Amino acid sequence: MRNKRNATIAAIVGVIVCIGGGYLLLRGMTNAEIFPLNTLNPRGRQSQEIHDLAVPVFIVAGIVFIIIEVGLIWLFARFRRHSDDEDGVDEPVQQHGKTPLEIGWTIVPALILAVLAVFNVQTILELDDASSDALTVTVEGQQWWWQYQYDTNSDGKTDIITATQMVIPAGRDVKLRIQSNDVIHSFWIPALNGKKDAVPGHTQDLVMTANEPGIYEGQCTEFCGLSHGVMRMQVKALSAPDYEEWIERMTTAPEQPETELAKAGQALFVGQCARCHQINGITPESEPNSDGLYEYADEPLEDYGIEVGSTLTNKTAPNLTHLMLRDTFAANLLDLYQDVPTPVVENEGEPNINNLKRWLRNPEDVKPMDPDNNQGMPNLGLSEEQIDQLVAFLITLK
C-alpha cells in the first residue's frame, strides 16, 4: 500500500517537473532580444513552415516522452527495494514472450513515424518553392565573412557586390545560391530558414522570404577554422520602395571626398588597401584626376578584377564601395554606426569612428585571423594620422 502511494506521488512530481521545465525553457528561448539566433521565433515563410511542422512533432514526442517517463518513475518507486525487505521478498513475477504486446509496441511507433514522415516530406518540398519573380543572390562564404552578389535585372551579370549584411526585399522570395571560396561554411539565419552548407566547388540553393522589414541575425554553423565562432552575418529586409532605393544607391558611384583629410585617406586607400579591398573603379594602378581624386565606377566591372558568376579567388577581402550603407562590419562584429541597425536604407546615426579606428589599429584584436596564410586582414602598422585619414575617407562611402 505504502509503495503504491509513494510511487503515485513520485510519478505526479515527475510530470509536473517535465511540463513546467519544458514550458519555462521554451518561454525563455522565444525571447528574440535575449536570443536573436532562435529557431522558435519564425519571421519568414520558410521558418514558419518548419515551425508549423516542429510544434506538432514536438507535442507528439512530448506525449510519448511523458508516458514513458511517468511509467518508468512509477515502476522504479513501486518496485524499489526496501531496507527491511528480506532477500528474494517482493520480487515481481518474471515473464517471457507476450506476443500481442510485442506486436503492439512495434506497430504503434511505426504508425506514428509513418504519419510524421508524410508531413516531413511535404514540408521539405514546400521549402524549395520559389515564385517566378524571386530575387537571386549569390552567397559566398570566406574565412571569415560572407559576400553577396546581386544580379538585380536578371541579365546574368553581377551589378551589386556587398558583404556581411545581406539586403533583401521583405515579402519577396529570395533564392540564395550558396558557395564557398575556401572551406565548408554553413549559412544560417534562424528567423528566416534552416541551415545550408557552403561547399567549395558546389552551389546549393536556399529560398528565404522575410515577412516584414527587419534585421535578422545569423551565424556560420560549420566549423571553418580560427574565427568560425565569430563568423556572423545579418539580413536586412527592406520595404519594396526602400529596396529599390537601395539598389539605386548601390549601383551609383559614391560622392567624392571633400575634406583634405578624407582626400588623403582616399590616396592612402589606393596605395595600401586597394590590393585586397575593392571600391568599384579603383585599382592599385589608378591615377588621380586633375583634382587629385580617384574616379569610381557606377557598378562592379569585370575590368576591375571581378569575374562575374565565378568565385572571387583573387579578391579575398570585402568590397567596400558603399561601406556606410551597411550597419556593421568585420563579420558583423562591430557596428558602423552609434545607432542600432534598423530596416532603412541608410542608418541616420553618427558613424562609429572608434570601431573603425579599433579595426584599423589591429584587426586581429577584434577577429582572430591568420593573414600570413591569406586568411584575414594583416595589421598594416598604420600611424594614428593615417588611421584618421582612412576613417575620414571610409565614412564618405555612402
Residues of the shown chain interacting with ligand CUA in the complex, contacts defined by CB under 6 A: 141, 144, 185, 220, 222-224, 228, 231
Can you read off the three cell numbers belonging to residue 387? 588611421
Ramachandran angles phi, psi of 198, nearest 5°? -100, 110
- The answer to whether the CB of 339 falls within 8 A of the CB of 349 is yes
The tally of CA atoms less than 13 A away on the side-chain side of residue 238 is: 19
Least distance from C-beta 332 to ligand CUA, angstroms? Answer: 12
Q: Which is nearer to ligand CUA, 69 or 364 (CB)?
A: 364
* 26 close to 54: Cβ distance less than 8 angstroms: no
Give the helix/strand (H/E) hosting 328. Answer: strand 328-329
What residues contact 325, with CB distance under 8 A and at least 6 apart? 162, 246, 249, 250, 345, 346, 398
Question: Which three cell numbers, joined as nine digits, stand for 348?
Answer: 541616420
**Of 144 and 294, CB closest to ligand CUA:** 144
Choose between 141 and 351: whose C-beta lies nearer to ligand CUA. Answer: 141
Pick the closer one to ligand CUA by CB: 141 or 214.
141
Q: Which is nearer to ligand CUA, 48 or 181 (CB)?
A: 181
Q: Residue 376 Cβ, how far from ligand CUA at the closest point, in Å?
A: 12
CA-nearest of 313, 351, 323, 320 to 335 is 351
The least CB distance from residue 347 to ligand CUA, in Å, is: 26
Provide the minimum distance between the beta carbon of 210 and ligand CUA in the complex, in angstroms, as a whole number. Answer: 22
Residues 6+ apart with CB under 8 A from 14: 69, 70, 73
Distance CA(214)–CA(166), nearest Å, equals 12
Whose Cβ is closer to ligand CUA: residue 105's or residue 223's? 223
- Quote the least distance from Cβ 143 to ligand CUA, whole Å: 7
Q: CB-wise, 182 or 299, nearer to ligand CUA?
A: 182
> Would you give the end-to-end CA distance of the chain in angstroms?
79
> What minimum distance in Å lies between the beta carbon of 142 and ligand CUA?
8
Minimum distance from residue 359 beta carbon to ligand CUA (Å): 19
Question: DSSP secondary-structure letter at 151?
Answer: -
> Is residue 255 classed exposed, middle or buried when 0-12, 13-18 and 19+ CB atoms within 10 A define those classes?
exposed
User: Which amino acid, residue 160?
Assistant: I
Q: Considering the complex, what minimum distance in angstroms separates the CB of residue 282 from ligand CUA?
A: 28
Compute the least distance from the CB of residue 158 to ligand CUA, in Å.
Answer: 22
Residue closer to ligand CUA by CB (options 65, 223) is 223
**Residue 88's CB: how many other CB atoms inside 10 A?**
6
Closest CA to 42 of 239, 208, 230: 208
| Shorter beta-carbon distance to ligand CUA: residue 137 or 273 | 137
Nearest approach in angstroms of CB 322 to ligand CUA is: 24
Calculate helix-pair angle for 384-394, 353-361, nearest 10 degrees: 130
Which residues does 174 contact at the CB level (< 8 Å), separation at least 6? 134, 135, 136, 137, 168, 207, 208, 209
Query: Residue 45 carries which side chain, given as an amino acid letter?
Result: R
Shorter beta-carbon distance to ligand CUA: residue 264 or 369: 369
